[in-house]
């Protein structure tokens, strides 16, 4: 995974979105990991795995994932 600062991400967001199709992009803020950008297909697989009790336990969690459905921009 590529790491990029939140500040640098603003000017390169279109390229980072393209890159996320090949591998995830980790955003850092003040030297700490703050967020991850992944392609939609990866996100949907992760979402399904967390909704499935067997998949969730394989990931080491029992927490259900409910993504925010807020609109942006």
Torsion of Cα atoms, 41 then 59 then 30 then 42, to 10°? 0
Taking the C-alpha atoms of residue 51 and residue 2, their distance in angstroms, rounded to an integer, is 27
The domains located in the chain, with CATH, are: 1-38 (3.40.1620), 40-73 (no CATH)
pLDDT tens-digit map of 16-65: 999 999 999 999 999 999 999 999 999 999 888 888 777 666 666 555 55
Q: Check whether 71 has a pLDDT greater than 50.
A: no
Q: What pTM did the predictor assign?
A: 0.65
């Amino acid at each position: 995974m590529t790491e990029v600062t939140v500040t640098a991400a603003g000017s390169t967001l279109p390229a980072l979105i393209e890159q996320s199709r090949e591998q995830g992009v980790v955003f850092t803020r003040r030297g700490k990991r703050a967020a991850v950008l992944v392609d939609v297909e990866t996100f949907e697989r992760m979402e399904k795995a967390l909704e499935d009790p067997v998949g969730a336990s394989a990931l080491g969690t029992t927490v259900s994932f409910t993504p925010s459905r807020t609109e942006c921009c």
